[in-house]
Amino acid sequence: MGRLFALLLFVFGLLFVSLVYAKPPADTSHKVVIVELFTSEGCSSCPPADTLLGQLRLDAANGGVEVIPLGFHVDYWNHLGWQDRFSTHAYSECQEQYSSKLRTQGPYTPQMVVNGSDEFVGSDASHARSAIARAAAGASSTSVELKGAAADKLSIQIKAPTNASGDVWLAITEDNLTNKIGAGENGGRVLRHQAVVREFRLLGKLSNGSFQGEVPLNIAKDWKRADLRAVVFVQESGNGKISGAAAIKLP
C-alpha cells in the first residue's frame, strides 16, 4: 500500500512539473506590418534608407512577420537640380498629413513610418527593426484578404469590429527599379529602389466594420508586371494608425 501511494505521488509530481514548465502554445497568427518610406532621388542621405526598405521585408520574413514596404517619392526636392521620375506632389501631401498627426516639425527625407504611428529617420536600421517588432506584437482585429480577379481586377474582403472606422487605401508597388542620376546631390550615381509606389488611391471607407468588392487595377505599359504588387490597408482617419493590411503579387 505504501509503495502504491509513493508511486501515485511520483506520477502526480511529474504531471505537476510538466504543467508548470510546459511552453505556451505558439502564436500562429499572421503578423503584417506596413513600413512607409518618404524618399527622393535628389536627397543624398536617402539611398541607404532605400536599401534598408528592401532589406526589412526579407529580415522580417525570417522572423515570421510580413513587412509590406511602400516607397513614396516626394516632389519637394525636384527644384534642386534633379527631377525624380517616381515622385508626385500627392505623396508630399501624404507626408505632410503625417507631420500633423505625429506632431513632427515638418516633412523631411528620408522619413520612415511604421504602421502609421511610429516615425523616425529612414536610415536608422535599429529603430526600424524595433518599431516593426513592437507593431507585430500588437493585436490586430482587422483582417484583409486579397485575390486576383479577371481582367486586372482585385477582389478585396475586409472584416473588422462593427464599430471600427477607417479609410481603405490601395497602392501598386514596383520592385527592382534603377535610375542613373544626372544632376543634384546624387549626380553620377545609379540608384536602386524597391517597393516604389506607382499608384496610390483611396477606395472608400469601412461600413459597419467591413469592406468588400472588386476594384480595377490601372497598370501602365512601362511597369514591369513581374515586379508589381497590390497592397491594401486600413488606416484610421484621426490618428493615421494602420489597423490591417495585405499584399499580393499580380498574376
For residue 247, what are the β-bridge partners?
A: 231
Q: Which domains does the chain have, with CATH numbers?
A: 31-249 (2.60.40.10)
Residue 84 contacts residue 91 (beta carbons within 8 Å): no
C-alpha cell at 6: 509513493
pTM for the structure as a whole: 0.86
58-83 pLDDT per residue, tens: 887 777 899 999 999 999 999 999 99
> What residues contact residue 140 under an 8 Å CB cut-off, 6+ apart?
31, 32, 243, 244
29-63 pLDDT per residue, tens: 579 999 999 999 999 999 999 999 999 998 877 77
Q: Within a 10 A sphere around the Cβ of 243, how many other Cβ atoms?
A: 22
For residue 67, what are the β-bridge partners?
A: 33
**What is the average per-residue pLDDT within 109-136?**
97
